[in-house]
Structure 1
Amino acid sequence: MARPPLTIPPEVRSRLKRLALRTRRDMGDRGFGMHHSRNKGAGLEFAQYRAYEPGDEPRRIDWKLFARSDKFFVREAEEESPIAVWLLIDASASMGQADRARPDWSRMDAARLLALCTAQLALMQGDRFGWIALHGHGLVVADPHRGRAQFERMQIELMRLESAGTFPDPATLAPLWERIGPNDLVLFLSDCFDEGGIAMIERLAKAGREVLAVQLLTVEERDFPFDGGYRFREQESGAALVGDGKALRDSFLARFAEARAALAERLDAASIRHTAYVLDEAIDRPLHVFFGRGAPPA
């Protein structure tokens, strides 16, 4: 049975309206603001109608169409966008990790929804967006396009995406260097545990691409709430460790903090903006960190 298309919860969709995709180039040239992509008003080419959503300005409602259909629609106009947004989604086996308290919400689930939220921002601004799923079996590539049809395709294809295998080797990653353009914005969604993934985004940043990275973590990795005997298994290699959770806690948390600090230092050195997302947080929190002006949701 086919899965239904992925959807953004209404409360998250409402918060996304407060955000705007911005690049370093925009902030350097015009201060704290967004690039010019989609503008609304007279003199621009009409693009499409869409259903009215709470928060839309009443002046954008097409009242003549309302009189004929008895439904609210708003007009969207657009002009050419200067950037394309790429969503690079780590689909290796470790992304299937979830917490015992919520086994139906894995890193992969969070990556899917966060990618779709980013696409929603691009859709609202008229930007082109595309995605690449990265796993050892090969790359799944959708080149950037703008518009509702691209968004709906993404809703369907993301639900088909499963985490499996290891992170791609350099030969498998070769198509990235030709597809991702010099002015493109790249968002990497990963647990950031694979050296190959970090080396990949370092290379993209060194080549002048603007790269953002979100490290997706489980609650158990953050808190290590284990008490008693456990077998801890690494999903990609199959390596296992048997031990007492309470006895391992302090050592694990200290080493994990050191690893995260080393990763942050490495990404800072490459001029890659980054943040972490834990599975019990609001899904749009990373986007508020990158593109918001106020405090991000908890």
Structure 2
Amino acid sequence: MSLAKTALIAHTQKLDLVIRHVLAGLGHGIHAGRERGAGVEFSEYRAYAPGDEWRRVDWKLLARADRYFVREAERDSHVAVWLLLDASASMQEPSREIGGVDKLAYARTLLGCVAAIAQRQGDAFGLVVLNAGRVQFTPAIRGPRQLQRVLLQLSRVQPEGGLPDADTLRASLHFVQSPSVIFAASDLLDWPSPLSQALTRLRGMRHDVRVLCLQTQAEVDASFSSNAAYRDPEQASGVFRFGADLKEGYRRARDEHFAQVTSSCRKADIPLVTARIEQPPGEVLRLWLRKPGSRP
């Protein structure tokens, strides 16, 4: 069942349809009373007053109390939501179990879901794409048209080259001048890196930074074929085969690398969610949206 849900990502080129399906599958899983999505946190109910938006009426409470109540939320009107996408060449790594699904397709789906939630809650949101040594911005604003703009940009992104260097990223941090929630999706294969430095710096500036680390099942259990030849997509050379004699060394190096990633994020107070792209997107989205410090 989980593979079938994830395979939807590969079955259509229309990102908005995939996002609609993922969010519908969550039901009330992103209820504002429990989850902090896009900068808004539930506070209390109050009686309906003329002029209140009907979309804020709690219809279930109406059925029980026979009165109209609306959900009040504590909102910092200056909070913006930023979607940060690592679109370097390594993000084209495909699933060996689900045809047509790779890290980038999975990342753009989850980031699109966050954008849809931000739009639904009235938050300003923008997009930052990192690839080919560049930083590409879609400024943060509110509204349905912004959602279509961001989804279009996400759908057009292609994996290319490496991440920007430290100077380029440092000069680009002006995009978070106001308090922000930053959802960063990457495979984190390059760590420590200019990206890790930028995320740590953003957290030091007291922004809410949440990182999603994407892997394939083959990467997790070292189940690469020993018959195929592989090339590092971000290097000009380096064709190699993944023989059985290399698996133990690979597992050891991988465990050491991600232990360092986890430790660094913990020290910087950055919530880290590690997921396989074969997992159901809704399941991973719940974890990524969870308010830091809250119970599962």
With the length of structure 1 as denominator, give the TM-score of the two structures.
0.76
Equivalent residue for 1:107? Answer: 103
Query: CA 1:107–1:41 in 2, change beyond 3 Å: closer, same or farther?
Result: farther
**1:161 and 1:131 mapped to 2: Cα distance?**
11
Q: Does 1:10 align with 2:17?
A: no
* Match for residue 157 of structure 1 among 153, 156, 160: 153
* Match for residue 84 of structure 1 among 77, 80, 102: 80
Query: CA 1:44–1:247 in 2, change beyond 3 Å: closer, same or farther?
Result: farther
Query: CA 1:230–1:87 in 2, change beyond 3 Å: closer, same or farther?
Result: same
* Match for residue 275 of structure 1 among 273, 276, 279: 273
State the 1:130 CA deviation: 1.0
Q: Percent identity?
A: 23
Query: CA 1:269–1:233 in 2, change beyond 3 Å: closer, same or farther?
Result: same
Q: Does 1:97 align with 2:108?
A: no
Equivalent residue for 1:208? Answer: 206
State the 1:112 CA deviation: 0.5
**2:217 and 2:47 mapped to 1: Cα distance?**
42
Unaligned runs of 5+ in 1: 27-32, 49-55, 61-75
What CA deviation, in whole Å up to 9, does each residue of 1:235-294 have, x standing for no partner?
Answer: 101442534532222221222111111110011111111111211101133332243477
**1:294 and 1:12 mapped to 2: Cα distance?**
21
Q: Does 1:225 align with 2:232?
A: no
Query: 1:213 corresponds to which letter in structure 2?
Result: V
* Match for residue 22 of structure 1 among 11, 14, 36: 36
**What secondary structure is seen at the aligned counterpart in 2 of 1:255?**
helix
**What secondary structure is seen at the aligned counterpart in 1 of 2:41?**
coil
**What secondary structure is seen at the aligned counterpart in 2 of 1:102?**
coil
**1:214 and 1:107 mapped to 2: Cα distance?**
11
* Match for residue 142 of structure 1 among 105, 127, 138: 138
Query: 1:150 corresponds to which letter in structure 2?
Result: Q
Q: Which segment drifts farther, 259-268 or 174-183?
A: 174-183
* Match for residue 258 of structure 1 among 242, 256, 259: 256
**What secondary structure is seen at the aligned counterpart in 1 of 2:263?**
helix
**What secondary structure is seen at the aligned counterpart in 2 of 1:226?**
coil
RMSD: 3.4
Q: Does 1:179 align with 2:175?
A: yes
**1:291 and 1:102 mapped to 2: Cα distance?**
25
Query: CA 1:91–1:17 in 2, change beyond 3 Å: closer, same or farther?
Result: same
Q: Which segment drifts farther, 119-128 or 213-222?
A: 119-128
Equivalent residue for 2:41? Answer: 34
Query: 1:34 corresponds to which letter in structure 2?
Result: E
**What secondary structure is seen at the aligned counterpart in 1 of 2:101?**
strand
Structure with the greater relative contact order (CA < 8 A, sep ≥ 6): 1 or 2?
2
Equivalent residue for 2:5? Answer: none
Query: 1:219 corresponds to which letter in structure 2?
Result: Q
Q: Is the 8 A contact 2:131 2:162 kept in 1?
A: yes
**1:229 and 1:140 mapped to 2: Cα distance?**
38
Query: CA 1:84–1:241 in 2, change beyond 3 Å: closer, same or farther?
Result: same
**1:268 and 1:173 mapped to 2: Cα distance?**
22
Q: Is the 8 A contact 2:42 2:72 kept in 1?
A: no
Equivalent residue for 1:166? Answer: 162
Aligned length: 264
State the 1:226 CA deviation: 3.0
Query: 2:194 corresponds to which letter in structure 1?
Result: G
What CA deviation, in whole Å up to 9, does each residue of 1:4-41 have, x standing for no partner?
Answer: 45431525434164214538xx9xxxxxx9166xx995
Q: Does 1:192 align with 2:184?
A: no
State the 1:149 CA deviation: 1.5
State the 1:176 CA deviation: 3.1
Unaligned runs of 5+ in 2: 1-12, 63-70
- After the TM superposition, list the runs of 4 or more consecutive aligned residues in structure 1 that deviate by more than 6 angstroms: 76-80
